[in-house]
Structure 1
């Protein structure tokens, strides 16, 4: 997925500001220019999407830069694209095979059981918490 981002140029004393217009409240910053701003925007977008999914909210589709430029809200800003992995919003169940030492697997199963969850459910929840 490719989200347009608006980047406000920084100075020697201020950071570069980044806004993702399609994702309300999604923003970021960078100290070292456009490349860092784009990378930081990718992280902000991923975090925004994770939070929205956790709250049962829908994920807006990306707009075109041309559409967003017409609003005039970010005149003078630099436009770029932040590409994020579409797997972030794909809830398709996928079977995986992992290799773990028996002691780690036993500990994992013990913690999952204590939490009242399956092994898969426990791994998924722990992953989403961090």
Structure 2
């Protein structure tokens, strides 16, 4: 899942405040943008881990455009980070699914040509997440 992040330079402290607007309270400080982008990935994972432990849902990211005009982020530098949210969705369960043969072949071809999915189950999970985010 792709989350917009904003890096705000705090000149009086000579460091960056990095925030994830779609994950309230998820932020970190860094002395460089590179370090900040690395650190915010860990902060997001830690934050989502705690949310999962409390049974809370993974927040759905809004578009970059929905955040960029907000007063709190004026003058910020924006980036997008991609987070695999699968580990934060809870324990995996095996299910039996019936699909048409040609659809299964298309899915398997997509998995074979794109290492992002790793497995047929990974592809189906990502497709389900994308469809659920539409609502």
* Per-residue CA distance 1:9-62 (angstroms, 9 max, x = gap): 25595221101111111101112x222111111100000000001011122101
* Per-residue CA distance 1:69-109 (angstroms, 9 max, x = gap): 132320101011122223232335279xxxxxxxxxxxxxx
- SS of equivalent residue, structure 2 residue 7: strand
- SS of equivalent residue, structure 2 residue 72: coil
Per the alignment, residue 51 of structure 1 pairs with: 50
TM-score for both structures, normalised by structure 2: 0.61
Per the alignment, residue 23 of structure 1 pairs with: 23
Larger Rg: 1
Matched, 1:86 2:109: no
Q: Distance in 1 between matches of 2:27 and 2:9?
A: 14
Per the alignment, residue 34 of structure 1 pairs with: 33
Structure 1 stretches of 4+ moved >4 Å = 10-13
Number of residues of Structure 1 aligned to a counterpart in Structure 2: 94
CA gap 1:58/1:15 in 2 versus in 1, 3 angstroms: same
CA gap 1:94/1:2 in 2 versus in 1, 3 angstroms: same
Structure 1 stretches lacking a partner, 5+ long: 96-130
Q: Distance in 2 between matches of 1:79 and 1:49?
A: 21
Q: Distance in 1 between matches of 2:29 and 2:63?
A: 22
Q: Distance in 1 between matches of 2:7 and 2:87?
A: 23
